[in-house]
Structure 1
Amino acid sequence: MTSSSESGVSTPTGPPTGPQLLAGVPPGTDAEASRRRVPWMRILQVVLGLGLAVALLGWALPHFAHTTWADVWSVLSGIPWTTAFGLFVLMVLGLWLYTFTFTGSLPGIPHVKAFVVNVSGSAVGNLLPAGGAAGAAATYKQLRSWGFTRRAISTSLIVSGVWNVLARLLLPIIGIALMLVFAADLTPAVMRAAAAGAVGGTVVLALFITMLVSARACLAIAQVAERSLRFVPFVRSSDPPLSRHVMDQRTQTISVIRHGWLSMTFGLVGFFGMNYLLFWFCQNTVGVQFPFAYMFFAFALSRLLTSVTVTPGGVGVSETGVAALLVGWGANPAQATAGVVLYSLYVHFLEVPLGLLGWVAWWFSPKKRPLDSAVGEPATH
């Protein structure tokens, strides 16, 4: 096991920081009340999100794909178990390749532990609407138990999170370019969705680069965010102020990117590459075949739609959108729907039991007290 000093520079223990405040548990006497309110809000969010996902899968998916679940099941039931196992291997390989993103953003973590963290956090995120925050909290808990410092973990979450967002938003840009060069015109609705992703990716990238390049701009953005948070319920000002945390985080982020950008990029390219192969094989298995440009655009759209956080992992939204797109291109409705459902089984539902195994592995793994867990006992490189 790597030591905390290898995992990053620590932050002395003190009052809750900006991220902790955003979690909805402010310091002081209101903490317990917030803890009582948040679970009920979370339960309501889960119920509504799962209910919407069931409605989308049960009614909207076959409706907009012009098929029935009986026809879809007829296609899925003909898949050999050997093919199903091969698809599972592709899924696991993609998750393993993603560990390079973790090792690049969090120096000192071995690939096995990065894999455990990845599948555990993904399982939590796939169960909750807007589950990214819950997945990040699970990741934080596991990494802290292994001795990694607060600052190293927060930097890893920020950098890897930005890398993920940019990758998901970059895919539609590549997809549009391929379609415009090698395929037919796109419908206005699909074009607008992809263009929205492209614009969003450009804005996020520009903001991120600006904060890294210019310390003055980073401070100004942090101060604007700090003033805005005053109007958010249950959030109190932190001491030291949030802007100081952001500036300190900027220094760490620059250091991580300088040394880990290649590993993080390789991990994401490998992860999405395996995911595209999984998508292609799922469609090919059920008899849906299109040229590369069409298949890649459909895959890119599916990844973009998972960012719609009204349901856990965008379940129901992604499947409905991609199935309708494939049917609109001339695919057999039952086969196209079966293909997107099969793909969703691997990238959403099968990650949950795999994540449970990850939690078991974490539970029995050796734990280590972080060096920055004691007040006035900061750990440094």
Structure 2
Amino acid sequence: MTAATEPADHGPAPATQRTSPFVRGLQVTLGLGLAVAMLWWGLPHFAKTSWSEVWHVLRTVPTWKAALFMGLVVAGLYCYTFVMTGAMQGLSHLRALILNVCGSSVSNLLPGGGAVGLAATYSIAKSWGFSAASVTTMAVVTGVWNVLARVALPIIAVLGLAWGATDLPAAMREAAWAAVLSGTAVIVLFAVAIGTDRGARQLGRGIDRLIRLVRRGHGSTVEDGLSGLRARTAATVRTGWLQMTLGMVGFFGLYYVLFLLCTETTGIELPFGQLFAAYAIGRLLTAVGVTPGGLGVTETGTAAALVAWGADPAASMAGVVLFSIFTHFMEIPLGALGWVAWSVMPKASADERAATDA
């Protein structure tokens, strides 16, 4: 999850452009409908099992293991705070955790909810007195680190499988090539954005359209922010890249441990390399925005990979569902706690917010 900031107000309160309620409602309906269809029909179909068999396996999970899984989720989210604090000076780990879970809870509820999540974290950070410049920089830098981490996982998986002389499915090779191309494109876009004023404006204009933060009149926008923050972004990468990288490794590493424990609990017996490959496919598919957080698509792709490598179908689907419960659905109540924590935390005064926007 990454954060974005609301542009500073330098005049009368402008109105925010919004998608029409009908179009937004249609998007939400279609996205949620697709997620339900993929989970209810697609997942058991491609995993070659049934939900009744899966529920039978899930009922055997002991309570102490569920508590352990929840602890790993919280630990992973805490590791991610190092990514956020490395990208924004003055942000504490507690506040970074609140920003993360609040934004993720929104993103996991709505198709294409990333834009709404960005706006939510934007408003929270501004209430603490952070400037538009600093939060916009964090949004860009952490966004790039997220994408690069997700596209790197299939590449690492392919190299590991090739080293182990394991047959590589065509889908896995194609995913690795797609990751290479996607990662290269992200690096090029990022370099252009922090290297040239024109590139920064073009990328900022695209982000404005994505998160619908464009305002009427002549107020500041993400486009203006990126153009004015090229030096700050470059400085952030130069000083914080190691902390952000280690935080990302810790986050995905702990989630992989959680994935291993979930699959072990449901009775999957596969080599670590193949399990990592299935995990990498799932993390890459979370970027699919047609359903909330890639829900349904992620689980189907991961379970299909496990079954293709010879894992028991019911155990595979149960393991994937168990992992999804903790990494997707449990972020929603965590987000609710985050909103409560934010509501009782001290806020910056109007003068302090005006000073940071100046």
Fold match (TM-score > 0.5): yes
AA aligned to 2:280 is A
**Structure 1 equivalent of residue 227 of structure 2:** 247
Equivalent residue of 1:307, what SS? Answer: coil
AA aligned to 2:164 is F
Distance 1:354 1:225, change over 3 A: closer
Answer whether contact 1:128 1:311 (CA < 8 A) is retained: yes
**Structure 2 equivalent of residue 219 of structure 1:** 197
Answer whether contact 1:146 1:370 (CA < 8 A) is retained: no
How far apart, in 1, do the equivalents of 2:356 and 2:112 lie?
33
CA RMSD, 1 decimal = 2.8
How far apart, in 2, do the equivalents of 1:135 and 1:297 lie?
29
| Larger Rg belongs to | 1
Q: Shift of residue 230 of structure 1? A: 12
Identical amino acids, percent of aligned pairs: 46
Answer whether contact 2:157 2:277 (CA < 8 A) is retained: yes
Answering whether residue 83 of structure 2 is matched by residue 87 of structure 1, we say no
Q: Shift of residue 43 of structure 1? A: 2.9
1:337 to 300, 304, 317: 317
How far apart, in 2, do the equivalents of 1:122 and 1:187 lie?
32
**Structure 2 equivalent of residue 46 of structure 1:** 28
AA aligned to 1:346 is F
Answer whether contact 2:77 2:97 (CA < 8 A) is retained: yes
Answer whether contact 1:120 1:356 (CA < 8 A) is retained: yes
TM-score (norm 1): 0.84
Deviations 1:150-183 (A, max 9, x none): 1111111111111111111111111111111114
Answer whether contact 1:75 1:286 (CA < 8 A) is retained: yes
**Structure 1 equivalent of residue 155 of structure 2:** 173
Deviations 1:15-59 (A, max 9, x none): 69xxxxxxxxxx96xx47x44x44443333222211110000000
Answering whether residue 102 of structure 2 is matched by residue 123 of structure 1, we say no
Deviations 1:329-379 (A, max 9, x none): 1100000000000000011001101110110111111111365744xx566
Distance 1:370 1:74, change over 3 A: same
Answering whether residue 266 of structure 2 is matched by residue 270 of structure 1, we say no
Deviations 1:99-146 (A, max 9, x none): 111111111111111111111111111111122111111111111111
Unaligned runs of 5+ in 2: 1-5
AA aligned to 2:198 is A
Answer whether contact 1:149 1:372 (CA < 8 A) is retained: no
Answering whether residue 333 of structure 2 is matched by residue 353 of structure 1, we say yes
Answer whether contact 1:105 1:156 (CA < 8 A) is retained: yes
Distance 1:330 1:315, change over 3 A: same
Distance 1:155 1:225, change over 3 A: closer
2:296 to 316, 322, 329: 316
AA aligned to 1:220 is R
1:256 to 215, 236, 251: 236
Answer whether contact 1:124 1:135 (CA < 8 A) is retained: yes
**Structure 2 equivalent of residue 100 of structure 1:** 82
How far apart, in 2, do the equivalents of 1:366 and 1:244 lie?
30
AA aligned to 2:10 is G
**Structure 2 equivalent of residue 14 of structure 1:** 10
Deviating more after overlay: 308-317 vs 198-207: 198-207
How far apart, in 2, do the equivalents of 1:48 and 1:65 lie?
23
**Structure 2 equivalent of residue 279 of structure 1:** 259
Distance 1:161 1:229, change over 3 A: closer
**Structure 1 equivalent of residue 91 of structure 2:** 109
**Structure 2 equivalent of residue 73 of structure 1:** 55
Answer whether contact 1:116 1:358 (CA < 8 A) is retained: yes
Deviating more after overlay: 219-228 vs 88-97: 219-228
Q: Shift of residue 222 of structure 1? A: 3.9
Equivalent residue of 2:293, what SS? Answer: coil
Distance 1:199 1:229, change over 3 A: closer
2:271 to 273, 291, 297: 291
Answer whether contact 1:147 1:371 (CA < 8 A) is retained: no
Answering whether residue 123 of structure 2 is matched by residue 141 of structure 1, we say yes
**Aligned pairs, how many?**
351
Distance 1:284 1:171, change over 3 A: same
Distance 1:38 1:261, change over 3 A: farther
Equivalent residue of 1:290, what SS? Answer: coil
Answer whether contact 1:65 1:333 (CA < 8 A) is retained: yes
How far apart, in 2, do the equivalents of 1:125 and 1:283 lie?
26
Q: Shift of residue 237 of structure 1? A: 8.4
